[in-house]
Every structure is written in structure tokens, then in C-alpha cells.
């Protein structure tokens, strides 16, 4: 479940933690103080998938949303009318 952080890419700046109004990263210790302090996703189930953490991140690819299977869009693999 979202968000997913690539700890090798993350620079520990804490921007994602700052912008999250749901505070899914709650409990992240000393974020933004050094590269050693990476965000922890504590409450993933309340994520709104608003993408603001992804937009706030200065490093492309360090954070992304993983859409839960339960939210996968349902669709038809071809035109209508052939049912």
C-alpha cells in the first residue's frame, strides 16, 4: 500500500512528511535532520492517494504511490456491444 519509498534514493529531507495531511508518516524520527533519517509509512491505510508526497519529493523515483489491488480500476478489455 502507498506510498512506497526507495531507501537507496531517499535523501531524508522530510518534505513528504511535511506535506501529508493524513500524517501517514507519523512517528518518523528526526526527519529532515540527516540522510540517515528516512520516512516511515506508519498508517498506509488512510492514504488518500493525493500524490502530494510524490510531487514534493526532490528526487525522482524516491517515492511513488502503489495503488492497492482493492482500488484497481475495473474496465472492459475491448469495445462494448460484443457481450
Partner 1 sequence: MKIETVDADVLCIGGGIAGLMAAIRASELGARVVVVEKGSIGYSGAARMGNDHFWAYVPEAHGPDMRAFIKECMLTQLGPMCSTLSSRVVDTWMERSLEIVKLWEEWGIEMKYQGQWEFAGHSFPGHAMTHLKYSGHNQNIVLLDEARKRGAVAMDRVMAFELLGGAGRVTGALGIDTREDRLVEFQARSVILCTGSTRRLFLGVTPALIGNDTRPFTLTGDGRAMAYRLGAELVGMEMLARHVGNRYFVRSGQGTWIGVFRDPYGRPLGPYVAEPSRRYGDITPEVDKSLFARVMESGGGPVYMDCSGISDEDYEYMRHWLVQEGSAPLLNHLSEEGIDPRKHPIEFMSYNFASIGYIRCNEKGETSVRGLYSAGDESTFGISGAAIFGWVAAENAAAYVGESAAPAFDGENARTEEKKRLIETLQNRMDGTDWKDANIALQQVMSDYAGPVRSAPMLEAGLSHVRRLREKARNTLRAENRWELTRCVEVLNLYDLAELVFVAALERRESRGFHQRADYRMTDPLLNDQVLIVRNVDGKPTATWREKER
Does residue number 79 form part of the binding site for partner 1 (CB under 8 A)? yes
Least Cα distance to 55 among 23, 18, 1, 24 occurs for 18
Name, in order, each residue with C-beta under 8 angstroms of 68's C-beta and a sequence gap of 6 or more. 1, 2
Q: Which of 35, 36, 60, 81 binds partner 1 (CB under 8 A)?
A: 81
- Answer yes or no whether residue 61 interacts with partner 1 by CB under 8 A: no
Answer yes or no whether residue 77 interacts with partner 1 by CB under 8 A: yes
Residue with smaller CB distance to partner 1, 10 or 47: 47
Task: Confirm or reject binding of residue 76 to partner 1 (CB under 8 A).
Answer: yes
Amino acid at each position: 500500500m502507498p506510498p512506497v519509498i526507495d531507501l537507496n534514493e531517499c535523501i531524508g529531507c522530510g518534505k513528504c512528511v511535511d506535506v501529508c495531511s493524513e500524517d501517514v508518516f507519523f512517528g518518523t524520527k528526526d526527519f529532515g535532520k540527516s540522510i540517515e533519517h528516512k520516512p516511515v509509512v506508519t498508517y498506509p491505510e488512510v492514504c488518500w492517494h493525493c500524490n502530494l508526497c510524490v510531487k514534493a519529493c526532490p528526487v525522482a523515483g524516491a517515492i511513488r504511490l502503489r495503488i492497492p489491488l482493492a482500488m484497481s480500476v475495473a474496465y472492459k478489455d475491448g469495445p462494448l456491444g460484443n457481450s
